[in-house]
Amino acid sequence: MAAMGLPELALRLCVVPLAVASLWEMATNRQADDTYGEVRFSDLSGFTYLVGINAVTAAYAVASILLSPFKSFTQYDWLVLVLDQASAYLLMTSASAAAEVLQLARHGDRDVSWGEVCSYFGRFCGRATVSLALHAAALACFVALSLVSAYRVFSRCHPPGVVSAADGSEPEPKHAQEQGK
């Protein structure tokens, strides 16, 4: 098996700083107000989830880069496909959770009497927005990686053939029969 290609390597190398920057921006995000107190990312579960998933996906991206020259077992490509897909899904769910928290912070929800808080904690909301944007860029990289991994796995697969009931062999495809005429 060959080492990973340049586009895949570039995408994996892009994920690491994007996920780490998103993690750092959110994990160091806090703001105090004399009237309303202090808010930290850890006060909001959606932001805590985003930080955790950024750490996991950055670590996986580094591990996949470091282990790519050692593709010693036959199911390596399948494992990478599954882990790339899982990373993309986790990034999507954490982006959704953080976006919901940010939406409530910016606009509130009058139906349940939640007021907006970004007018009091503007710097906190701004940094959360930057973190979410970096997170979305990492998500885009993992979506592309999932496509690359899927192509690598499924391009080696042959389409299923129809088994003849008489002798158990597969008939030649129709296009092969026409070329032989």
Cβ proximity of 89 and 126 under 8 Å: no
Distances (CA, A) of 4 to 122, 123, 155: 43, 41, 15
> Residue 34's pLDDT is what?
82
What is the phi/psi pair of residue 22, to 5°? -65, -45
> Residue 172's pLDDT is what?
62
Domain boundaries in the chain?
A: 6-157
| Residue 179, token pair as written in the block | 């070329």
* 171-181 pLDDT per residue, tens: 565 555 555 55
Residues of the chain with pLDDT under 70: 1-4, 72-74, 158-181
What is the phi/psi pair of residue 114, to 5°? -100, 125
> Residue 100's pLDDT is what?
95
Q: Rounded distance, CA 17 to CA 62, Å?
A: 10
